[in-house]
Amino acid sequence: MLIQRILMSPEIAEKIKCKHGLDPIVAKDILENYNTHHIEKVGGSNYMAIGLCCAGYVTVFFEYEAGTAEIKTAYQSSNWQTDLYKRKRG
């Protein structure tokens, strides 16, 4: 998967910041840094990326189509998501 463009609506950015207490820039960083994330398809054109960054383990849900990823939500990873990341990334 080659992500060429990352989109996030202002409403989603606000939700990530207020509801989940996460800087929306972190969500973009997870998708931009190919060396530190694991991506899995979760249905249709929806994907889940789990990555390690300055904020710890972060999970990002996004839609992917024709090189464009549109972020739907992002939050601190749960224990099972962190364990999945560690198993897949080694």
**Phi then psi dihedrals of residue 30, to 5 deg:** -60, -45
Structural domain spans, the chain: 5-89
Helix axes 24-32, 10-18, angle to 10 degrees: 110
Q: What would the pLDDT profile of 31-78 be if each residue is shown by its tens digit?
A: 998 777 899 999 889 999 999 988 799 999 999 999 999 999 999 999
Q: What is the pLDDT of residue 34?
A: 75
Name the 3-class secondary structure at 45.
coil
Question: What CATH number is given for 5-89 in this structure?
Answer: 3.10.450.530
pTM recorded for the entire structure: 0.92
